């Protein structure tokens, strides 16, 4: 029989568990504070970007492709490569600046367009086109007439705008294997841009009629499936724009939405209706682009003093219509866009931001930057004698 007066056993305190719980709590609170500071405090965010995330790179710390003196090269970034076209050779360089492959391309004055892993190259005012998939030539062809513009969607469908025939414009469409699907003839309007939907079902043509005293723009939508069997009834829609509104470019986004960029506004076509998303009225817009995936951007200059100005990148989500802003304390000389990357040329710096409004990389040079080429994962800063590579 236990002693009646025996004291009950005391529970032992697990010190390790307490220390671990306290440590985790402190770390969680610290992370929340750091994230809040990063989001709200510009100076802290800039310090973190430079010192912790290493988002700033200087001219002397990047991989370089040397160009021959006096060499006239056409440079274009696509997928994960920097392509240099010179003397009928397309050389593709990786992020380390080493040549990975050289392709025979009989083109001297190129027009480029890329999407996903595809690159199309056409001879400006000539007949040859080449489609490159990753590091290989997928197919090539010759066009009847003169090439004005080329386009390829993310699945490899191609549209070529042709001039120099008895029509004002002709659009020829090819499938990913290089088979010619059809031609669309425009007798009285000029095609200024084309786009193929992400599901490969529709071709949209941006047309402008300047024959009269009033400019008339419109967007014609063609069913690619219907045109194969019934070309005369293949037109799905023809959206007439307001008179004297000059259409500049168009781009299909997800869910068959079409973004339409005019000189003074940006519209969207969805559910059979064209509506305005952004107007330039009463704003000093210095640049704008719809060449992004499910976003568009405008650069708006705002005065910050008597002799100074800030530039604000307004980044608009096509789906939700939400707007993200990214501000730089200087004027933006030029913008370059692709995928979800927006490159802002600030003179001796380039800031690469994403469509979420965050800095991806900042490149700092010791000389004026005149030309940049960008894809979703790599960029090239183009100088007279070299190309400097930025990994994004």
Q: Residue 243 and residue 267: Cα distance in Å, rounded?
A: 15
Mean pLDDT within 311-325: 94
Sheet holding 371-374, edge to edge: 63-66, 386-391, 378-382, 371-374
- Residue 11 confidence (pLDDT) above 70: no
pLDDT given at position 52: 81
Q: Which two tokens stand for residue 130?
A: 């080449």
For residue 241, name the pLDDT band (cuts at 50, 70, 90). Answer: very high
Q: Over the stretch 57-91, which tens digit does the pLDDT of each residue have?
A: 998 899 999 988 767 789 999 999 999 999 899 99
Q: How confident is the model at residue 36 (pLDDT cuts 50, 70, 90)?
A: confident
- Per-residue pLDDT band for 112 (boundaries 50, 70, 90) equals very high
Check residue 6 and give its pLDDT: 58
Average pLDDT of the chain is 91
| Percent of the chain as helix, strand, coil, to the nearest 5 | 15, 50, 35
Longest CA span, the chain: 116
Using pLDDT thresholds of 50, 70 and 90, give the confidence band for residue 370: confident
Q: Quick one: average pLDDT of 134-158?
A: 96
Q: What is the pLDDT of residue 10?
A: 57
Mind listing the pLDDT tens digit for each residue in 340-354? 999 999 999 999 999
With a threshold of 0.85, does the pTM exceed it? yes
pLDDT at 169: 96
Give the pLDDT of residue 131.
98
Measured from the Cβ of residue 249, the count of other Cβ atoms closer than 10 Å reads 17
Q: Residue 261: how many CB atoms within 10 A of its CB?
A: 22
Is 70 exceeded by the pLDDT of residue 8? no
Cβ(361)–Cβ(372) under 8 Å?
no
Q: What b/e readout covers 285-310, taking b as 16+ CB neighbours within 10 angstroms? A: bbbbbbbbbbbbbbbbbeeeeeeeeb
The pLDDT value given to residue 292: 96
Checking if the pLDDT of 12 tops 70, the result is no
């Amino acid at each position: 029989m236990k002693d009646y007066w025996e004291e009950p056993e005391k529970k032992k305190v697990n010190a390790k568990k307490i220390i671990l719980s306290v440590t985790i709590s402190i770390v969680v609170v610290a992370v929340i504070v750091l994230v809040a500071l990063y989001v709200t405090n510009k100076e802290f965010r800039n310090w973190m970007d430079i010192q912790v995330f290493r988002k700033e790179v200087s001219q002397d710390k990047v991989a370089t492709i040397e160009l021959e003196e006096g060499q006239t090269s056409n440079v274009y970034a696509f997928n994960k490569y920097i392509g240099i076209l010179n003397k009928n050779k397309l050389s593709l360089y990786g992020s380390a600046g080493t040549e990975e492959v050289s392709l025979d391309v009989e083109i001297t004055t190129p027009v480029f367009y890329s999407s996903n892993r595809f690159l199309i190259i056409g001879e400006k005012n000539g007949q040859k086109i080449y489609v490159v998939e990753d590091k290989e030539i997928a197919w090539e062809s010759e066009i009847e007439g003169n090439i004005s513009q080329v386009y390829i969607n993310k699945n490899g469908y191609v549209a070529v705008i042709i001039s120099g025939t008895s029509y004002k414009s002709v659009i020829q469409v090819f499938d990913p294997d290089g088979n010619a699907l059809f031609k669309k003839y425009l007798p009285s309007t000029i095609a200024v841009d084309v786009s193929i939907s992400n599901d490969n079902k529709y071709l949209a043509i941006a047309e402008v009629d300047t024959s009269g005293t009033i400019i008339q723009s419109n967007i014609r939508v063609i069913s690619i499936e219907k045109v194969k069997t019934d070309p005369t009834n293949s037109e799905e829609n023809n959206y007439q724009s307001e008179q004297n509104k000059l259409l500049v470019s168009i781009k299909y986004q997800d869910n068959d939405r079409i973004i339409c960029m005019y000189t003074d506004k940006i519209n969207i076509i969805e559910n059979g209706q064209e509506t305005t998303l952004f107007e330039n009225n009463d704003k000093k817009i210095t640049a704008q682009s719809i060449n992004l995936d499910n976003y568009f951007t405008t650069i708006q200059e705002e005065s910050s003093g008597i002799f100074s100005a800030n530039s604000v990148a307004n980044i608009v989500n096509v789906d939700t219509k939400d707007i993200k802003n990214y501000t730089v304390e200087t004027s933006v000389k030029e913008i370059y866009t692709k995928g979800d990357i927006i490159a802002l040329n600030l003179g001796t710096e380039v800031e690469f931001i994403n469509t979420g409004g965050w800095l991806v990389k900042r490149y700092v040079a010791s000389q004026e930057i005149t030309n940049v080429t960008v894809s979703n994962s790599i960029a090239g800063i183009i100088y007279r004698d070299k190309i400097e590579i930025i990994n994004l």
